[in-house]
C-alpha cells in the first residue's frame, strides 16, 4: 500500500460530487485543502466525522482551508447524506476506488476480527501547490479537524 508523506505531490483526481458536478484536485490550486476518506455515508463514524467538519467550516475557512470528503458511495447516496446533515461541502464518489488507492486510503483492514479490503479512514492536508503538508492514516472520526488545525498552527 502506498503511503503519502509530507512533501509528496497529492495524486490528481476527477470525481463526481453529490450533485453530479465533476471536481478535480486542480480546482483547488492556490488554496489549502483538507481531503478526507471515509468508508460509507450515513454510518455512525462517518456521520460524526462529516458533522465535525461541517461544524468547523467557518474556522477552517478562516484558516484558508477548503474541505472535501471522498467515499466509494454513489453520488445519490452522498447527496442524501449531505441533505440529511446539511454538510454543504463536496462529497466525492470514488466508486472505482482509484483515488483511494492512489492516496493509500484503500487496503486491508481488520473489521470485527476479520481481514477485509476497504477504505482506511484517512485525511490529508494539501498545500496551495498540491503537495502533501500532512497525512493521517487510520485517523479517528473526531480527530480529522483537530489534527488539521494543529498542523496549521491554529488553536484547537
What's residue 153's pLDDT?
85
User: Does a structural domain hold residue 7?
Assistant: no
What's residue 108's pLDDT?
87
User: Does a structural domain hold residue 66?
Assistant: yes
Q: What is the CATH number of the domain that holds 22?
A: 3.40.30.10
d(CA 25, CA 153): 24
Q: Domain tally for the chain?
A: 1
If the chain, 156 residues long, is cut into consecutive pieces of 10 residues, what is the mean pLDDT of each piece? 91 97 96 96 95 95 94 96 96 97 92 87 96 96 94 70
Bridge partners, residue 32, by sequence: 65
User: Does a structural domain hold residue 30?
Assistant: yes
User: Does a structural domain hold residue 2?
Assistant: no
Cell numbers of 16, please? 463526481
Name the one residue in this structure whose C-alpha cell is 472505482.
96
Say if residues 15 and 23 touch (Cβ distance below 8 Å). yes
Is 51 among the residues known to form the active site? no
Cβ-proximal residues to 13 (8 Å cutoff; 6+ apart), any chain: 24, 25, 92, 94, 98, 99, 102
Expressed as residue numbers, the domain containing 50 is 14-151
Among residues 46, 68, 125, 133, which one is catalytic? 46
What's residue 72's pLDDT?
97
User: Does a structural domain hold residue 55?
Assistant: yes
For residue 156, the Cα-to-chain-centroid distance in whole angstroms is 19
Amino acid at each position: 500500500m502506498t503511503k503519502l508523506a509530507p512533501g509528496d505531490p497529492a495524486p490528481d483526481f476527477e470525481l463526481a460530487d453529490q450533485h453530479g458536478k465533476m471536481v478535480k484536485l486542480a480546482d483547488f490550486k492556490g488554496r489549502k485543502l483538507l481531503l478526507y476518506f471515509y468508508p460509507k455515508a450515513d454510518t455512525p463514524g462517518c456521520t460524526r466525522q462529516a458533522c465535525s467538519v461541517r461544524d468547523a467550516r467557518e474556522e477552517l475557512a478562516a484558516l484558508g482551508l477548503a474541505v472535501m470528503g471522498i467515499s466509494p458511495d454513489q453520488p445519490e447516496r452522498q447527496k442524501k447524506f449531505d441533505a440529511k446533515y446539511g454538510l454543504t461541502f463536496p462529497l466525492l464518489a470514488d466508486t472505482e476506488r482509484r483515488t483511494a488507492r492512489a492516496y493509500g486510503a484503500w487496503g486491508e483492514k481488520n473489521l470485527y476480527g476479520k481481514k477485509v479490503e476497504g477504505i482506511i479512514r484517512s485525511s490529508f492536508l494539501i498545500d496551495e501547490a498540491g503537495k502533501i503538508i500532512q497525512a493521517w492514516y487510520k485517523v479517528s472520526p473526531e480527530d480529522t479537524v483537530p489534527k488539521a488545525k494543529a498542523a496549521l498552527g491554529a488553536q484547537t
